[in-house]
Amino acid sequence: MNIDEKIKIIKTVAEELINEEELRELFEKKENPIAYDGFEPSGQIHIAQGLLRALNVNKLTSTGIHFKFWVADYFAMLNNKYSGDLDKIRDAGKYAIEVWKSCGMNLDKVEFIWTSQFYTQNQQYWETVLKLSMNATVARVLKCGQIMGREESTSNPSSQIIYPIMQAADIHHLQADIAQLGMDQRKVNMLARDIFPKLGFKKPIALHHHMLMGLQFSQTDAQGIDRKIAMKMSKSKPETAIFMTDTKEEIEHKFKKAYCIDGQIQDNPVLEYAKYIIFETQKEFHIDRPEKFGGSVNFNSYEELEQAFLEGKIKSIDLKAGVAKVIDKLIEPTRKHFEENKEAKELLQKVKSYSITR
């Protein structure tokens, strides 16, 4: 695989790449660059965290990239997940790893690193945190609160200041060439890119993936105005997400309730599932339909499906049913793993029993 082919694959993951020139230079100098992504262990894993993340990681590792998964147990504690109970947080981390094992992530080039273990073995880490904090204003760091899933507020805990600085330090100490995170983590990656040169650190390439839309919409915005607002996929709102161990019945129910207006392409979460998951896992998408409504139909690309939906050739009821059927098949291996593997089953039961506190 030449460099152009590698970059082409990586750009299929990126909603934003900062920047392509730096990525090309990286591959010219390094055959096996290091990319990292991190997650706060908490709650059940939904499809964007599970299957979609596995698809993205597999694309990156296919180019020769070594991937480091940052199991951010200390960060979950700082964000008050499970009221800061590290034992529960670590159970959730082990459960997440079981999900990725079961849904096809290629683990040959993937390394799972636990934050709490890493910090005790790297004495210079905290010195890096202090130096970074000396080069970042309080205002700039507070604007990074989005990475914790929090809005900027004076009532937030002081951990909101520590958290982004630590996350920036992680990039340096993991020796990550590429920070491959969601668009919601963009601000801290840009913080790292701005500050690192001041300390003589290697500036990371920022690769931000698309955040899959929630299945339902709220009825009012923050000012109470009645309008349709896209809901971020949320563990605390199970109707907005497909979880990796959802039953067939749960999947069908959630898609039936999903926001999907005939002929509307923009802000259509069902089409997003088709684009970012279905057509990334198979070449053809089949929709069953009674003959009186046009009969069954196959689509060979997302663009073809989108155009048919836009023109009214496919209705929302058929799109929802077709997407639900494929998604059910895609998560079936994970569902089966957590039914048949004793350790995995126990972890899932524990995680379901824990209450996520924020």
Closest to 267 measured CA to CA, from 320, 214, 209:
214
Domain range 213-353, CATH class? mainly alpha
Q: Is the pLDDT of residue 236 over 70?
A: no
Give the integer Cα–Cα distance in Å for 164 and 168: 6
Mind listing the pLDDT tens digit for each residue in 323-347?
999 999 999 999 999 999 999 999 9
* Global pTM value: 0.88
Give the integer Cα–Cα distance in Å for 231 and 218: 6
One DSSP character per residue, 212-258 reads: PEEEEEEEE-TT--EEEEEEEPBTTBGGG--BTT--HHHHHHHHHHS
Q: Are 91 and 351 in contact (CB under 8 A)?
A: yes
Measured from the Cβ of residue 197, the count of other Cβ atoms closer than 10 Å reads 10
- pLDDT score recorded for residue 227: 40
Give the integer Cα–Cα distance in Å for 243 and 265: 24
Give the integer Cα–Cα distance in Å for 324 and 347: 26
Domain coordinates of the chain in residue numbers?
3-209, 213-353
Mind listing the pLDDT tens digit for each residue in 155-188?
666 777 888 999 999 999 999 999 999 998 999 9
Give the model's confidence band at 72: pLDDT under 50 very low, under 70 low, under 90 confident, else very high: very high
- pLDDT score recorded for residue 250: 97
DSSP-derived 3-state class of residue 154: coil
Q: Is the pLDDT of residue 91 over 90?
A: yes
CATH superfamily placement of domain 3-209: HUPs (3.40.50.620)
Phi-psi region of 275 (alpha: psi -120 to 50; beta: other; left: phi over 0): alpha
CA triple 206-212-355, angle to 5 deg: 100
Looking at the DSSP bridge assignments, the partners of residue 126 are none
Measured from the Cβ of residue 275, the count of other Cβ atoms closer than 10 Å reads 18
Q: Is the pLDDT of residue 223 over 50?
A: no
Distances (CA, A) of 140 to 28, 137, 192, 218, 325: 34, 5, 12, 30, 45
Q: Is the pLDDT of residue 228 over 50?
A: no
- pLDDT score recorded for residue 36: 96
Q: Is the pLDDT of residue 221 over 50?
A: no
Q: Is the pLDDT of residue 143 over 90?
A: no
What phi and psi values does residue 235 have, to the nearest 5 degrees?
A: -70, -30
Closest to 65 measured CA to CA, from 36, 35, 38:
35
DSSP-derived 3-state class of residue 314: coil
Q: Is the pLDDT of residue 136 over 60?
A: yes
Q: Is the pLDDT of residue 229 over 50?
A: no
Structure letter (DSSP) for residue 81:
G
Measured from the Cβ of residue 38, the count of other Cβ atoms closer than 10 Å reads 21
Mind listing the pLDDT tens digit for each residue in 21-30?
999 999 999 9
One DSSP character per residue, 20-67 reads: HHHHHHHHHH-SS-EEEEEE---S--BTIIIIIHHHHHHHHHTTT-EE
* Dihedral (CA of 89, 94, 95, 99) sign: positive
Considering the chain, what is the average pLDDT of its residues? 90
